[in-house]
Chain A
């Protein structure tokens, strides 16, 4: 089959002789390709947002409403009154809200928010990565607290509905915990309680540091996640900070990630003195410990030989909330039993 191989000359001829409408269509396409910026106005079409806002906030806002920025840099006007219907988009936020005594004001949580017990019965907005915008809107919240681990596109979608959204960063070290609580206290207008809670946590962190001051050695620790594969916490995880504060050295600290799949050989090479397994239940921990002991090659590892394999509460350790300090207390006592009154 022969195809057109029109040369330039032929093309020119058509440009001049072709029907007028063809060149018009060319202009049309060129406009489509080049003129897109012309549409920026239509991007600003009102979406009924104003209407929602008007009915939500009767009467003028107080003149001196203080505006702070959330952790994404979005301006957030501090509410004049304490929010009454808070949607929490992460388990650690839920936990902190309850710790601040605001449990009664939480209108919706994720399906992973199982602590404290009372959070379980609250309306569910979906998961961490699949929150449902429609359900969030239906709960009529006057404050939505999200964190950077939520899909920010969805968080933006919630914001565009006119709801007050505050996005929090994910903590990297335990130093971020008290400021996080104080920040949540600020936007929920419960600053005093937050300050007290934060001060208590700082005190406890200080106590652990004091107890470990001058400890002669830093045992090597490996923190494993219960389940398939040898998942451990890399240097970017706050668990790494937990290990260090507990007076140990995270063997996977050099891995520049939060979670890393560790290799069996690396465990043999690192020869950790103590192994922690993040487990949901005692049964899980036992299974994990047996599996570890049976893994070929690991029997000679120091922690396995000495039986220094311990459970950590996965529920508490996996969320950046006040219970991390409980986890730290336990870890420190297990890594340095000599400093915390004898054996574990």
Chain B
């Protein structure tokens, strides 16, 4: 198969899978729904079925897709940013910082909802972004700026945030259930308000990253080379770091920490369609959304009680990832 044809197959298959996943999401659930029910819904909506299919299932599917998009795009950006395939939204501390914020809010009983976020969601968002700024500021101080310093500072800050998170969880053992939600992720609470809050920013970041993708390609040559070729390296780096942090913080704020998507999806995509960043960003966004859509389907249909989605993403993602790696070799 030629590269071009391979790419076409990738797009077609992912789009088809995404569409099928969306329909499946509307059909699957404890309340039996047939395709006929969905069609009837268009004509004369029965309020109960409307609430179940549109308010609960559809909003949830859309949110899962958006969050998958955000996480995969954030991971793709960071892997390019650090020129390191190990990078994902965890390494710069966003996820740990955000979970600390959420758990803190829970422990302190901070419930004030705003901008479509819950109280913990809001604090998760703020602290997720805050920790990245802190990490960035810390790595700037030592005479200029080094990517390695940023990476290591991020890991250290993330570890510190995780330690504090565990501490607060330990102190408030009665908020365990909430803690599981924030540490392993879930779309149980999805609603249209959340979709409306995160969607514009995710779309904006996707467009901006695709626009800036040629500069990311240059970065792969090394900062000096990129600079010499006319790319404003520092500013490009700042923009990408900010976007990846924003994407990850948004994702955590509405759905808790969902691991593995940001690490694995860009890898699959790179193996399948090549390293060019414009294509990589777009394809990661689409594949990440589709992947998380299916993971959420599994999370809510495997057992009578819902599984945290973080369990699914890792359990499904890791073996498939290993398979792809070996096949490629």
Q: In the complex, are the beta carbons of B52 and A137 less than 8 A apart?
A: yes
Residues of A within 8 A of B242 (CB): 29, 32-33
Complex contact A45–B305 (CB within 8 A): no
Q: Which residues of B contact A11 (CB under 8 A)?
A: 234-235
Cross-interface CB contact of A153 among B181, B196, B204, B238, cutoff 8 Å: B181
Kindly list chain A residues whose C-beta atoms are within 8 Å of the C-beta of B146. Answer: 3, 5
Task: Specify which chain B residues have a CB less than 8 angstroms from the CB of A48 in the assembled complex.
Answer: 50-51, 54-55
List residues of chain A with CB within 8 A of the CB of B306.
Answer: 130
**Contact for B208 among A2, A6, A25, A140, CB less than 8 A:** A25
With contacts defined as CB atoms under 8 Å apart, how many contacts are there between chain A and chain B in the complex? Answer: 164
By a CB distance below 8 angstroms, the chain B residues around A49 are 55
Q: Smallest Cβ distance from B296 to chain A, in angstroms?
A: 14
A6 near B235: Cβ-Cβ < 8 Å: no
A179 and B322 alpha carbons, distance in the complex (Å): 60
Q: Is the interface of B mostly helix, strand, loop or mixed?
A: helix
B305 and A126 contacting across the interface, CB-CB below 8 Å: yes
Q: Which of A51-59, A185-193, A196-204, A309-317 contacts B (4 or more CB under 8 A)?
A: A51-59
B51 & A161 in contact (Cβ 8 Å cutoff)? yes
Quick one: which of B57, B226, B234 has the most chain A CB within 10 A?
B234
| Per-position 1/0 for A106-140, Cβ under 8 A of B | 00000000000000000000110110111101101
**Within the assembled complex, what's the spacing in Å between the Cα atoms of A151 and B192?**
20
| B52, B174, B191: the one within 8 Å of A134 (CB) | B52
Residue contact B200 to A14, C-beta cutoff 8 Å: no
B118, chain A: closest CB distance, angstroms: 7
Contact present for A39 and B115 (CB under 8 Å):
yes
Q: Which residue on B lies nearest to A132, using beta carbons?
A: B30
Interface band, chain B:
35 or more
Chain B contacts with A in 202-247, Cβ cutoff 8 A: 204-205, 208, 211-212, 215, 222-224, 226-227, 232-236, 238-239, 242-243, 246
Would you call B193 and A43 a contact (CB within 8 A)? Answer: yes
Q: A3-B147, A6-B144, A6-B234 are in contact. Are A137 and B193 (CB under 8 A)?
A: no
Stretch at the interface among A15-23, A86-94, A287-295: A15-23
How far is it, in angstroms, between the C-alpha of A164 and the C-alpha of B290 when the chains are bound? 35
**CB within 8 A of A47: which of B129, B193, B200, B224?**
B193
Chain B residue numbers with a CB within 8 Å of A151 are 177-178, 181
Q: How far is the CA of A127 from the CA of B177 in the complex (A)?
A: 13
Chain A nearest CB: distance from B263 CB in Å? Answer: 23
| Interface pair B197/A137, CB less than 8 Å apart | no
Complex Cα–Cα for A6 and B233 (A): 9
Residue B9, interface by CB 8 Å: no
B80 at the interface (CB under 8 A from A): no
Q: Give, as a whole number of angstroms, the nearest-CB distance from B61 to chain A.
A: 13
B118 contacts A21, C-beta separation under 8 Å: no
B213 CB → nearest A CB, Å: 11
Q: Is the CB of A4 within 8 A of B223?
A: yes
| Closest-CB distance, A153 to chain B (whole angstroms) | 5
**Nearest A residue to B195, CB-CB:** A45
Among B115, B174, B178, the most chain A Cβ lie within 10 Å of the Cβ of B115
A228 on interface, CB distance cutoff 8 Å? no
Residues of A within 8 A of B52 (CB): 134, 137-138
CB distance from A146 to the nearest CB of B (A): 14
For A21, what are the chain B residues with a Cβ–Cβ distance below 8 Å? Answer: 211
Kindly identify, within residues 123 to 174 of chain A, every residue whose CB is under 8 Å from any CB belonging to chain B: 126-127, 129-130, 132-135, 137-138, 140, 151, 153-154, 156-157, 160-162
**Would you list which residues of chain B between 120 and 152 have a CB under 8 Å from chain A?**
129, 143-148
Q: Tell me if A153 and B56 are in contact (CB < 8 A).
A: no
Flag whether B315 is at the interface (Cβ < 8 A). no
Contact of B234 with A4 in the complex, beta carbons under 8 Å: yes
Tell me, rounded to whole Å, the shortest Cβ–Cβ distance linking B148 to chain A: 8
Contacts of B50 in A (CB 8 A): 48, 51-52
Q: How far is the CB of B155 from chain A (nearest CB, A)?
A: 18
**Which of A29, A40, A45, A126 counts the most B-chain CB atoms under 10 A from its CB?**
A29
- Whose C-beta in chain B lies nearest to the C-beta of A161? B51
In the complex with contacts A3-B147, A32-B246, A43-B116, A134-B30 CB distance below 8 A = yes
Complex CA gap A135/B193 in Å reads 21
Which residues of chain B from 232 to 279 have a CB within 8 Å of any chain A CB?
A: 232-236, 238-239, 242-243, 246
**How far is A244 from B224 in the complex, measured between Cα atoms in Å?**
76
Considering the complex, give the chain A residue whose CB is closest to the CB of B236.
A22
Chain B residues with CB below 8 A from A299, complex form: none
Question: How far is A32 from B248 in the complex, measured between Cα atoms in Å?
Answer: 13
Docked-complex contact B31 and A134, CB < 8 angstroms: yes
Given contacts A6-B227, A11-B234, A154-B188, contact A25 B56 (CB under 8 A): no
Given contacts A5-B144, A14-B232, contact A157 B191 (CB under 8 A): yes
Query: Does A343 count as interface, using CB distance less than 8 angstroms?
Result: no
Question: Which residues B164-204 have CB closer than 8 A to chain A?
Answer: 174, 177-178, 181, 188-189, 191-193, 196-197, 200-201, 204
CB nearest neighbor in A for B174: A258
Question: Of residues A21, A22, A37, which shows the largest number of chain B Cβ atoms within 10 Å of its Cβ?
Answer: A22
Q: Report if B43 contacts A (CB, 8 A).
A: no
Interface string of B24-42 (1 = CB under 8 A from A): 0000011100000000000
| Complex A-B: 30 CB contacts under 8 Å | A2-B222, A2-B224, A5-B145, A6-B145, A10-B234, A11-B235, A14-B234, A19-B232, A22-B236, A25-B211, A25-B212, A28-B208, A29-B242, A33-B246, A36-B201, A37-B115, A39-B115, A39-B116, A39-B201, A40-B115, A43-B116, A56-B47, A130-B306, A134-B31, A135-B31, A137-B52, A138-B48, A151-B177, A157-B188, A258-B174
Q: Which 3 A-B pairs have the closest CB atoms?
A: A4-B223, A43-B116, A18-B232
